[in-house]
Amino acid sequence: MEESVEREGSMNEIKEQEPRQTKWMVIEGGPSSGKTTIVNKLKNQNYEILEEAARRLLNYGYKRQDEIQFTLDVFNSQRDAEERLDTDNIVFLDRGLPGRIAYLLMEGRDWSDPQIQMMLEESRRRVYSEVYILEPLPFFETQTQRTENIEFARKAFKTHVDVYEKLGYKPVIVPVLPPDERADFVIKDATQKGKL
């Protein structure tokens, strides 16, 4: 009897460690990639959207002073928001949890950094249905919330691809197209794969 209780306990531990399979699709991209425009177009077509955590924090008065702390706070906010989502609902995420790892790497951290290791471990606790990464636009729009430039945007694109690939994803690269065609590209791809 003790053996069966022990076995049941270990099975529960294994279940807790299994990643959550989701029907969520990530729309990822560096600054000025057109990501927000695409997300808004999807929202206007009545798809469920999880708003970008960084934008949510900044809109609620977050004071962005230290980039590392900002990245960690955004990561935690994104994790908490994802924990509240139903894994069976089709949701487009305006950035995924692993996207924050890319920003720490661009701040000079490396893969062995304890915070990045923690973020990788947390990111492995869920499996996104699909990841779409937008190629950077050939021009750069500045906004009051934005502190980056075009070189940063190009580096962000490459780093995002690297992070998602390290986690076992095969991101779909969304080419530079007019906004409506980019949204259609995502919808068509997801539909052909049976995800919509």
Alpha carbons 168 and 172: distance in angstroms, whole number? 13
Q: pTM score, two decimals? A: 0.85
Domain ranges in the chain? 38-192
Alpha carbons 194 and 148: distance in angstroms, whole number? 36
For 22-45, b where at least 16 C-beta lie within 10 A, e where not — what string? bbbbbbbbbbbbbbbbbbebbeee
pLDDT of the chain, 196 residues: tens digit per residue: 555 545 455 444 444 568 999 999 999 998 878 999 999 999 999 999 999 998 888 888 888 888 889 999 999 999 999 999 999 999 999 999 999 999 999 989 999 999 999 999 999 999 999 999 999 988 766 555 545 677 888 899 999 999 999 999 999 999 999 999 999 999 999 999 999 9
Q: What is the CATH number of domain 38-192?
A: 3.40.50.300
